[in-house]
A = this chain, B = another copy of it.
Amino acid sequence: MDELIEKIKKGELKMYELDDFTKDVNKAAEIRRKYLMEIFNIELSKIGEYSIDLNLTYKKNIENAIGCVQIPLGIAGPLLINGEFAKGNFFVPLATTEGALVASVNRGCSILTSSGGVQAKVIDDKMTRAPLFKVSGMKRGLEIIGWIKEHYEDLKEKFQEGSRHLQLKSIKPWLIGTNLWLRIEAETGDAMGMNMVTIASERMARYIIEHNSDLSLVALSGNLCTDKKPGSINWLLGRGKSVIAEAFIERKILENRLKVTPREIVDVNNRKNILASAFAHAYGLNAQIANIVAAIFLATGQDAGQLTESSMGITYAEETGEGLYLSVYLPSLEVGTVGGGTHLPTQREALRLIGCEGGGEKPGNNAKKLAEVIASTCLAGELSLLSALAKNELAKAHEKLGRAKTK
Contacts and interface: CB of A to CB of B under 8 A. Distances in A.
Interface stretch (A59-67, A163-171, A251-259, A358-366): A59-67
A1 interface: no
Looking at A123, A229, A248, A352, which has the most chain B CB atoms within 10 Å of its CB? Answer: A229
Contacts of A399: 206
A373 to B, nearest CB: 14
B72 A344 contact: yes
Contacts of A223: 272-273, 276-277, 280, 282, 287
Nearest to A45: B349
Nearest to A123: B142
A148 interface: no
Given A230-B284, A307-B307, A340-B97, A276 B138 contact: no
Contacts of A282: 223, 226, 229-233
Contacts of A306: 290
Given A46-B345, A51-B50, A400 B278 contact: no
| Copies of this chain | 4
A61 B231 contact: no
A270 B276 contact: no
Looking at A43, A270, A273, A276, which has the most chain B CB atoms within 10 Å of its CB? Answer: A276
A314 B45 CA distance: 37
Nearest to A52: B70
B304 A304 contact: yes
B396 A209 contact: yes
A308 B293 CA distance: 11
Interface string A297-341: 111010111111001101011100000010101000000000011
Contact of A325 (B177, B279, B291, B301): B177
Given A393-B216, A393-B217, A179 B275 contact: yes
A45 B349 CA distance: 8
Given A54-B72, A64-B74, A96-B304, A400 B213 contact: yes
A41 B273 CA distance: 40
A97 to B, nearest CB: 3
A8 to B, nearest CB: 11
A132 interface: yes
A159 interface: no
Nearest to A342: B97
Contact of A270 (B91, B101, B270): B270
A249 interface: no
A274 B132 CA distance: 13
B314 A176 contact: yes
A51 B46 contact: yes
A73 B63 contact: no
24 contacts: A47-B349, A52-B72, A61-B98, A61-B99, A65-B74, A69-B95, A69-B298, A69-B347, A70-B346, A119-B138, A177-B246, A177-B325, A178-B327, A217-B396, A219-B271, A219-B393, A229-B277, A229-B283, A230-B284, A231-B281, A274-B275, A279-B314, A288-B305, A305-B311
Given A97-B340, A216-B396, A222-B276, 18 more contacts: A59-B99, A63-B106, A175-B329, A177-B325, A210-B400, A216-B393, A218-B271, A218-B393, A219-B392, A220-B392, A228-B288, A228-B291, A229-B283, A231-B282, A232-B280, A236-B281, A284-B308, A307-B311
